[in-house]
Amino acid sequence: MLIIMPRPKRIRKMTNPPHFKGFRPIALPEENDPIVLNYEEYESIRLSDFELHGHLEASKIMEVSRPTYSRIYESARRKVAEAFVLGKSILFEGGKVFFDTEWYSCKSCGCYFNHPAKEQRMDNCPLCGSSDIVQYSENTQLRPTEGSCVCPKCGLKKVHSPGIPCRNEICPDCNSPMIMEGAPHQHRNLNCN
């Protein structure tokens, strides 16, 4: 006998769960069985149609593959359409998800803060009250968009071009790969030469 066992589902990351339980159609006397929209499906609608991320981008936020994200999104839209057309209520329930707190940074006072009360949207900096806040992600921190590349041998500096790793830049004077200015290993390399 052949036993077919599907791969386990990857656990989806949720950042902003809804703060209400669902929707109900207006002025419909009989209560029919509701449509259950999983949390991951709600999140996909939020990411794609509210925050307007592309599927690839949104799949990275939810930590699933791009095709999986598209499947979740497809299923979410079908459920919403079914509820709209047949006048069914929508319940947010279940789904294979985990909740994570998001970190934000404030551009006005330069602080970083997290957001433990997920039910409310984060609009203002908790310190200075400025609304100029951005969601903080590790990628933006690791890859600087400005600054300069420096040659470890001769110390020549060059303005960093975003998207090109510093080590791919070649020093025009001594043909050695360059490194990021201020990187922890910069000092060490300068000392050896």
Partner 1 sequence: MKVAITSTGNSPDSTLDSRFGRCSYFVIYDNESHSTEFIPNPNKDSIEGAGPAAVQLIASRGAEKVVSGEFGAKVKSLFDTLKIQLVVLNDPEKKISEIIMLLNHKT
Instruction: Give the binding site for partner 1 (CB under 8 A).
Output: 101, 109-117, 124, 126-130
Is the CB of 67 or the CB of 110 nearer to partner 1? 110
Is the CB of 91 or the CB of 111 nearer to partner 1? 111
* Long-range contact pairs involving 108-112 (C-beta distance under 8 Å, separation at least 24): 108/132, 112/136
CA distance 28 to 77: 22
Is the CB of 60 or the CB of 118 nearer to partner 1? 118
149 DSSP β-pair partners: 158, 180
Q: Is 138 exposed, middle or buried (0-12, 13-18, 19+ CB in 10 A)?
A: exposed
In the complex, the smallest distance separating the C-beta of residue 161 from partner 1, rounded to whole angstroms, is 27
In the complex, the smallest distance separating the C-beta of residue 97 from partner 1, rounded to whole angstroms, is 16
Residue 193 in tokens: 């030469």
CB atoms within 10 A of CB 117: 9
In the complex, the smallest distance separating the C-beta of residue 108 from partner 1, rounded to whole angstroms, is 10
Is the CB of 23 or the CB of 136 nearer to partner 1? 136
In the complex, the smallest distance separating the C-beta of residue 11 from partner 1, rounded to whole angstroms, is 17
CA distance 153 to 187: 11
